[in-house]
Amino acid sequence: MTYTDSIVTLRSIVEGMFLLSELPEGYDMKMTQLAINGYRELNLVVLPDGRTIDKFTMDSNEIIYLSGDVTHVNAIYVPIEGQLWPLTKLDTIVPTTSESMGSEVLDSDWGEGVRITERRTYYAARGGDNVYGYFYPDYQRRRIIFRNVSRSEVLMDYMTSGISLTEETYVPTYAKSALEAYIRLYLEYNKSAPNPNSIAIHRDEFERQKAICRGIKFNIVDFLDGVYRTYTASVQRT
């Protein structure tokens, strides 16, 4: 048995919509930009396609600089016995660096690069210590700062737009209708005299299609596995 493709190109979605529309020449460029905006939004809030886990290496200052495609860092891990162990986000890490002879350095007098002291031995010590290390996402300077990590290589779980600047961008077919609804909605928004009724219809359809995408993402086996992990053994009564 032969099935239809599970992915379509962003370009083909725009071309198909423009072909069936009665819009004048030149609107295909506007539709393309709306398609890019819509797919970026879907990847950030609905689709799993924008999520990436990849390996990164710190520089000598224990810093990783973020590439342009990183929109948000979900988590950072180190591998422990074949599994991902999360580092702890710590907002109190000193986020600055200093300069010496034209080079970026860490000045301990300002607390830069100083190892975080963990006080796990005290009876009344608070929790939250992480023996594998800490990180601070400095989005303004587009970098991640690390402390107490014994290795320079980490795995970063982050979000991207899902849109390639150099290659063809592919969209899962189950998200095609959601993307088309987004384009129709914002085409109406951008009219010189937008129709409130049309906006309401297209907005409702966009929300409905997003709900369908979320439903497809839901996996009952993953959900039950999460529930089962909360179970603990207890004393058996006879």
Q: What is the pLDDT of residue 225?
A: 66
Is residue 138 a contact partner of residue 91, using CB atoms and an 8 Å limit? no
Q: What is the pLDDT of residue 213?
A: 87
DSSP string, 137-196: EEGGGTEEEEES-S-SEEEEEEE-----SSS--EEEGGGHHHHHHHHHHHHHHTSSS--H
Which domains, ranges and CATH numbers included, belong to the chain? Answer: 7-48+164-218 (1.10.472), 51-159 (no CATH)
Q: What is the pLDDT of residue 123?
A: 55
Q: What's the DSSP call for residue 46?
A: T
Helix 176-189 / helix 196-217 crossing angle, nearest 10 deg:
160
Q: What is the pLDDT along the chain (238 residues), one digit of tens a residue?
A: 445 578 889 999 999 999 888 888 878 888 999 999 999 889 888 887 778 899 999 999 999 999 888 888 999 999 999 999 999 999 999 988 898 888 889 989 899 889 988 665 555 555 568 889 999 999 999 999 999 999 999 999 998 877 776 678 888 898 999 999 999 999 988 888 889 999 999 999 999 999 998 887 665 556 566 666 666 666 666 5
Give CA–CA dist 115/117, Å, rounded.
6
Residue 34: how many CB atoms within 10 A of its CB? Answer: 22
Q: What is the pLDDT of residue 46?
A: 85
Give CA–CA dist 102/159, Å, rounded.
33
Give 30: exposed, middle or buried? Use CB within 10 Å, 0-12, 13-18, 19+.
Answer: middle
